[in-house]
Structure 1
Amino acid sequence: MKSEKPIIDVWMQQPTREFLNHPMFASLRKWMGIDLIEQDLPMEWTLDSMDQAGVGLGLLSAWHGPCGPLISNEQVLSLVQAFPGRFKGLASVNLHQPMEALREMTYYIQERGFVGVRQVQWFWNLPATDRRYYPLYARCVELDVPICFQVGHTGPLRPSEPGRPIPYIDEVALDFPELKMVCGHIGYPWTQEMIAVATKHPNVYIDTSAYTAKRFPPELIQYMKTNGKKKVMFGTNYPMIPHAKCLEDLDSLGLDQDVKERFLHQNAREVFNLG
């Protein structure tokens, strides 16, 4: 697998101890074969994982839920500033404080160069059609940045229903046709629903985070080769999956070079306004 330009990972996080040790990630820790950690993961591990796979830029996610931030916007900003050119930030905010949320996301996007917003619906147990998200959608349109969601079932032992593409992502796209939505985790087991929604709406996209290339559903691969060439982008959900592991079987999918380049970096550059 080779790319003409550095690869962009559109969903990763540099996890804090509070993040990885949270009880909701117990099932993922078991799957990853790790115990509770005593300190944050070293940045050297993250940069090494990226370098091994040719990933030049990672979009680092903040995580905010009903219990507060597990990875704060300020923690993400500190890493973006410490490693210029390697990371961009994705903000996350408190849905229960709408005006504070709008001010915070606007500040980090306009003043600190964040390139989008991430809200994980299962963390809130609120589907994307819930009224609490709607002020964020309007502000994302005004700021011309995407909102990033999870679609499909959940790895953590939380309800999967908020991640359904139909009706939730579909209805938001109808209400906000100018809103760019990047839907991570492919949508499995509702992959065909996710593809249908991305095909129907010009500003709905899919990222492959949480899946290695050899686990891409056949219908997604076919979509990437045909009318979904500009709709799918690469993500890992690091540290849950290392970058090289995600990409090691990419060449076996039969994608031509143009599709690979769009998948690995070009689509992300266009959707996130990365230049």
Structure 2
Amino acid sequence: MPDEIIDVWMQQPNARFMAQPWLETLVRWTGMSRLAPTTAETLDAMDAAGVRLGLLSAWHSPHGVLISNDEVAALVERHPDRFAGIATVDLTDPVGAVREIRRCVRDLGFVGVRVVPWLWNLPPNDRRYYPVYVACVEEDVPFCTQIGHTGPLCPSEPGRPIPYLDEVLLDFPQLVVVGGHVGYPWLPEVLSLATKYPNFYVDTSAYAVHRLPAELVEFLRGRGRTRVLFGSNYPMLTPAQCLKKLDELRLGPEAKECFLGGNARRVFSLPL
């Protein structure tokens, strides 16, 4: 393993988050506990896989906050060498969302913004996202989102890359977008966007790497080695579970370093 692994999609969930009914399918598939892990357990899970830094996501749903930006900021403050923050916003309050992104980036040092489309049942070309995109460009942070089908029993259509993300990337050529959860079953659409747009990236969260679609692995080995980032979606999967069979991908040294940490450091402008 390289000296540095960065996990670009993690959560430090609270009881409110773990009680959400839409987690039921993930609990059934993964056998994960409904009990929120402690911070110590999260750090142990990172250490078990050699993860140097985890990007912790805040979560906001149409019904309110699930994991607040301030909760994430408090964890980052306590463990600045292990965590960085990914902010979230309320799409129904566009002015408040812009102000919150500015606060999180300028005052709290967050390195990105994440909104999960299936949670809102709104594809990313919906007008309610557009103030968020402007704020991300102005603050020079990536917009992180989910692509592909949903694990929870919610509509998958908002995760379809074309036309939704295609339109966003056309409208905001300066916006850096990281699409998490791979994008299955629309891999040809995902890879076409990653080929077409220099600011679109893919992360492998929610997948053990040996279960990644073959098309994505081929992309990662070759022309896409600077465009794919490692993520786990902890605690749904641990980093160790995700990386257990990394050698089966047969990545060259450059592709492995980029995938496990180099791309994340560059895309999120993380300090050396």
TM-score norm. by structure 2 comes to: 0.98
In the alignment, does 2:45 pair up with 1:49? yes
Amino acid at match of 1:193: E
Q: Pick from 221, 230, 234: which aligns with 1:238? A: 234
Deviation at 1:65, TM superposition (A): 1.1
Cα deviation, 1:72-127, whole Å, max 9, x if unaligned, reads 00110111011121000000010001111111111011111000000000000000
In the alignment, does 2:153 pair up with 1:157? yes
In the alignment, does 2:126 pair up with 1:130? yes
* 2:66 alignment partner, SS class: strand
1:258 paired residue number: 254
Q: Pick from 198, 204, 210: which aligns with 1:202? A: 198
2:100 paired residue number: 104
* 1:154 alignment partner, SS class: coil
Q: Report percent identity of matched pairs.
A: 55
In the alignment, does 2:70 pair up with 1:82? no
Amino acid at match of 1:102: V
Q: Distance in 2 between matches of 1:146 and 1:274?
A: 12
Aligned residues: 271
Kept in 1: contact 2:117–2:158 (CA 8 A): yes
Q: Pick from 15, 22, 29: which aligns with 2:27? A: 29
* 1:158 alignment partner, SS class: coil
Q: Distance in 2 between matches of 1:144 and 1:35?
A: 36
Deviation at 1:35, TM superposition (A): 5.3
Gaps of 5+ in 2: none
Q: Pick from 6, 10, 13: which aligns with 1:12? A: 10
Q: Pick from 201, 223, 229: which aligns with 2:225? A: 229
Kept in 1: contact 2:208–2:242 (CA 8 A): yes
Gaps of 5+ in 1: none
Cα deviation, 1:34-65, whole Å, max 9, x if unaligned, reads 4543xx32111100110011100000000001
In the alignment, does 2:270 pair up with 1:274? yes
Q: Distance in 2 between matches of 1:36 and 1:251?
A: 31
Q: Distance in 1 between matches of 2:61 and 2:39?
A: 24
Q: Distance in 1 between matches of 2:197 and 2:140?
A: 17
2:243 paired residue number: 247
1:170 paired residue number: 166
Q: Distance in 2 between matches of 1:41 and 1:57?
A: 17
Give the CA RMSD over aligned residues: 0.9
* 2:8 alignment partner, SS class: strand
Give the 3 Å change call, closer, same or farther, for CA 35–111 of structure 1 in structure 2.
closer
Alignment of 1:207-226 (within 5 A): 207-226=203-222
* 1:25 alignment partner, SS class: helix
TM-score norm. by structure 1 comes to: 0.97
Q: Distance in 1 between matches of 2:53 and 2:184?
A: 26
Deviation at 1:6, TM superposition (A): 1.5
Q: Distance in 2 between matches of 1:120 and 1:175?
A: 20
In the alignment, does 2:94 pair up with 1:113? no
Give the 3 Å change call, closer, same or farther, for CA 34–250 of structure 1 in structure 2.
closer
Deviation at 1:28, TM superposition (A): 1.0
